[in-house]
């Protein structure tokens, strides 16, 4: 039985295919169109999923959309009516979109599937899951638990912004929810907007900026008090009330009332190119602390309502790995599972799984805790890569596997930055060793070099360490393994550097100049790191590269950052990787077992010319 799940028309559209309850293919549309967070109908992602299983549109048993458009439209109308006459400009804009597209999603799905099927119409059921059910199902049914509390926290679905479910075998039941406009996700996004980052994609920048704030400063305490005293009332069960006089997202075209926020916090709304000051850092820290407090309260309430020892988490806020770690440290639940693609893209997986288990009443299948369902995207054969390289007159060398890892480990040890392209593309926001940029974490200059010359992004942005699973506790103070980069852990004391007593009072630029540990390129301002543990069973090639690097250097850790530059999606194809390689100061590109070295100006100029000619 094949079920296709679809998410689209908000942000980060995706498609996922399950076969008899198992995820067999999943990909985000942005990876094919090269438009970051592409929200359009995921025609390319669907075509890939079908090709992956060698099936046609007519062989699909069910197609499931990840939310209910009419319920969402009802909430939209109720909101504009409640705020009338405010919001007329936003209302006209929204109605135009809904009347032309979003109210006719079933027809759009049928029409698009007909195109994908070469004119063959899809004549079976098209189902619509609720938004938060899709999130909950994506987390619970892919977890190793037979029963669990499930916590969904995001911006907004149809109406719900936070939900608590209970999962028991194949049953998934919503037992508590909080509704729009009161939303943890929208509160965090409001600060993302005010601090000059892009909503729905820049929240991780806000999280990365927070540790540069001074937790002991009066300014941070004052900002926190303003948030909890003016903007937001937080109740003991984790529910919140947002004072809408300060916000603009309900019926406006921006997230907040800029003038009122500037009056509250005493700083102007930051523009994207503005210098980041200590005020911005402290404000980021304040909202991060508030968010962590809310998440812990919500989890405590989920524990009270369900009595479960297990917790599954999904929704965009579940990607806040700092909050996840604070929650884990509280010990409220014995076991926590977080859906790796917790945002709207993961809704495609959840929609398909909800149809299989809830609509069709199929039993929840036993799933090993270490099973990794993220490498579900396109992979490319050696022949395909060889054809690409030869057609571009590229200089390359092919290695056998044993020599490949030793050779690349040597290049990394010598200070080179590697584009690493292997196997199936990751599903979700994290590169986990198949579409990655790899470098040496011991190099004190590597963070700035990667940020400014490779990724073309803000210099404060941290990089994650990938570490051999069996050696992880040698470097990090860990509670559990972290295969999907969804938790942060302190770098062990023996690695930490002694910082000046006045460190907290330094500016952001000054803090960036201090070496914080023996692994400076992956150690964040607060001495923590967003750890990826790599196992032999989950990703053998990446594990072998880490092992080769450890054998050469004694260090079982590498920098792992996504293979892309600022404003672009993670690379999907070898051609994408080749273009990214040529457009940055990466030193070496590894495509399967083929290695290209950027060490000859003549050759690289010729290669760049041929790439451009190929694109034209």
Q: Do residues 280 and 213 touch, judged by C-beta distance below 8 A?
A: no
- R_g of the chain, CA atoms, integer Å: 24
Give tens-digit pLDDT for 369-398.
445 679 999 999 999 999 999 998 889 999
**Who contacts 23 (Cβ-Cβ below 8 Å, separation ≥6)?**
16, 17, 142, 349, 352, 373, 376
What pLDDT score was predicted for residue 614?
A: 45
Integer angstrom CA distances of residue 43 from 68, 73, 325, 592: 20, 24, 36, 27
- Phi and psi at 192, nearest 5°, equal -55, -45
What pLDDT score was predicted for residue 605?
A: 45
Using a pLDDT cut of 70, give the percent of the chain over it: 96
* Listed range (291-305, 340-354, 357-371) with the worst mean pLDDT: 357-371
pTM assigned to the model: 0.94
Q: What is the mean pLDDT of residues 505-516?
A: 80
What pLDDT score was predicted for residue 372?
A: 61
Please identify which residue in the block is written with the tokens 């939900």. 163
Using a pLDDT cut of 90, give the percent of the chain over it: 81
Beta strands at 310-314 and 147-153: parallel, antiparallel or unpaired: parallel
pLDDT over threshold 70, residue 40: yes
Q: What is the DSSP letter of 335?
A: E
Q: Do residues 590 and 401 touch, judged by C-beta distance below 8 A?
A: no
pLDDT over threshold 70, residue 612: no
pLDDT over threshold 60, residue 49: yes
Please provide the average confidence, as pLDDT, over all residues in the chain: 93
């Amino acid at each position: 039985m094949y079920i296709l799940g679809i998410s689209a028309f908000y942000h980060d559209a995706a498609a996922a295919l399950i076969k008899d309850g198992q995820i067999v293919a999943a990909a985000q549309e942005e990876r094919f169109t090269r438009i970051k967070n592409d929200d359009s109908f995921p025609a390319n992602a669907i075509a890939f999923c079908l090709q992956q299983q060698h099936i046609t549109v007519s062989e699909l048993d069910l197609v499931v959309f990840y939310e209910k458009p009419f319920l969402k439209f009802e909430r939209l109308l109720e909101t504009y009516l409640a705020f009338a006459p405010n919001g007329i400009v936003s209302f006209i804009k929204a109605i135009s979109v809904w009347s032309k597209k979003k109210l006719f999603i079933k027809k759009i799905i049928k029409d698009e599937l007909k195109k994908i099927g070469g004119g063959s119409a899809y004549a079976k059921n098209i189902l619509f899951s609720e938004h938060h059910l899709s999130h909950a199902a994506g987390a619970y049914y892919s977890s190793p638990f037979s029963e669990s509390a499930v916590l969904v926290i995001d911006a907004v679905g149809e109406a719900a912004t936070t939900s608590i479910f209970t999962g028991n075998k194949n049953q998934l039941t919503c037992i508590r929810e909080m509704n729009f406009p009161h939303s943890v996700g929208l509160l965090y996004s409001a600060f993302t907007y005010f601090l000059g980052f892009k909503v729905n994609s820049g929240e991780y920048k806000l999280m990365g900026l927070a540790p540069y704030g001074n937790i002991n400063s009066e300014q941070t305490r004052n900002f926190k008090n303003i948030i909890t005293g003016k903007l937001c009332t937080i109740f003991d069960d984790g529910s919140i009330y947002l004072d809408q006089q300060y916000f603009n997202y309900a019926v406006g075209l921006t997230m907040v009332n800029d003038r009122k926020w500037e009056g509250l916090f005493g700083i102007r709304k930051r523009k994207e190119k503005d210098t980041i000051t200590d005020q911005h850092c402290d404000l980021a820290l304040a909202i991060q602390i508030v968010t962590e407090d809310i998440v812990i309260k919500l989890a405590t309430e989920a524990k009270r309502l369900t009595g479960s020892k297990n917790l599954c988490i999904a929704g965009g806020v579940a990607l806040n790995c700092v909050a996840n770690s604070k929650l884990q440290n509280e010990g409220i639940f014995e076991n926590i599972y977080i859906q790796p693609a917790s945002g709207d893209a993961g809704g495609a997986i959840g929609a398909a799984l909800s149809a299989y288990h809830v609509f069709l009443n199929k039993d929840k299948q036993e799933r090993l805790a270490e099973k990794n369902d993220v490498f579900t995207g396109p992979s490319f054969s050696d022949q395909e890569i060889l054809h690409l390289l030869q057609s571009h007159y590229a200089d390359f060398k092919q290695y056998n596997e044993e020599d490949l890892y030793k050779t690349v480990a040597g290049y990394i040890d010598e200070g080179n930055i590697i584009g690493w392209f292997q196997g199936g593309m990751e599903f979700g926001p994290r590169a986990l060793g198949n579409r990655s940029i790899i470098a040496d974490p011991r190099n004190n200059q590597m963070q700035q070099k990667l940020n400014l010359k490779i990724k073309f992004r803000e210099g404060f942005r941290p990089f994650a360490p990938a570490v051999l699973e069996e050696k992880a506790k040698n470097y990090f103070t860990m509670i559990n393994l972290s295969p999907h980069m969804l938790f942060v852990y302190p770098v062990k004391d023996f690695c930490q550097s002694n910082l000046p007593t006045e460190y907290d009072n330094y500016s952001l630029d000054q803090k960036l100049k201090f070496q914080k540990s023996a692994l400076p390129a992956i150690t964040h301002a607060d001495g923590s790191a967003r750890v990826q543990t790599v196992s032999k069973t989950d990703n053998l090639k990446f594990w072998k590269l880490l092992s080769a690097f450890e054998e050469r250097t004694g260090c079982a850790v590498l920098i792992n950052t996504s293979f892309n530059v600022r404003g672009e999606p993670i690379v999907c194809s070898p051609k994408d990787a080749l273009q990214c390689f040529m457009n940055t100061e990466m030193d070496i590109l590894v495509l399967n077992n083929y290695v290209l070295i950027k060490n000859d100006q003549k050759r690289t100029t010729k290669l760049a010319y041929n790439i451009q000619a190929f694109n034209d």
